[in-house]
Amino acid sequence: MCPHSRGKIVEVNTKTWEAKLVQAFHHPDNLLSKSQGSTQVLPSGNVVVNWGSSGALTEFTRNGTAIFHTYFDSGRLGEGVENYHGFRFNWTGLPNERPALVSLTSENGTKIYVSWNGDIEAKTWAFYGSTERGGESKLSFLGEKKRKEFETEFVVAEVVENVRAEALGKDGKALVRTDVVKSEIEVLQYQAKDGRSGEDVGSGWGRFL
């Protein structure tokens, strides 16, 4: 009798009702689960084993090498965590909320920041803007930038009063567009000669001394 739990692939002959063990996958820490668990063979040939009452999950290569292992716990808060079944599937983030957009202007131009919490499909952000106050209906194309991080920054050399961004998928098609936002004056930090720091939030620009 094996002293620890294993994920198993079993071949069953439904005529003779004989079962043959094809392959077994051993837990990296040789734990023993008292209940629950599951074994999933992925299209790649890898195998995901969930260790049930032990609150752990492992992915193996087809030859039995563990390449991913995790425990579903967090210190004392995780004591007694169990997981009935565990599977791996492709996941696509489909946010319910719209992207967040902020535009800040200074004497150096305009900095635009956009993010879409939960999205994994946007590959490029396209930016549109207007240099006229109240010109929301006269937006022109400002440029594009590849999405590499959660938040994408886009810089324009001129002051843009109204801004909108559009998320583009890998095929270049639009996924969603933001509302038009009005640019705000950027709060610029400055360092005084005596070492004191501060900020200028008035109608003028921050000044570096």
The residue behind tokens 């004191």 is: 196
Residue 193 falls in which region: left (phi positive, over 0), alpha (psi -120 to 50) or beta: alpha
Tell whether the model's pLDDT for residue 114 goes beyond 90.
yes
Residue 206 reports pLDDT greater than 90: no
Res. 204: pLDDT tops 50: no
Host H or E run for residue 65: none
Question: Bigger pLDDT: 162 or 76?
Answer: 162
| Residue in 8, 27, 5 with CA at minimum distance from that of residue 19 | 8
Q: Of 78 and 106, which is predicted with more confidence?
A: 106
* Cβ neighbour number for residue 19 with a 10 Å cutoff: 11
- DSSP character at residue 179: P
Domain at 100-185, CATH class:
mainly beta
What mean pLDDT do residues 81-97 have? 89
Least confident stretch, 56-70, 77-91, 189-203: 189-203
203: confidence class by pLDDT, cuts 50, 70, 90: very low
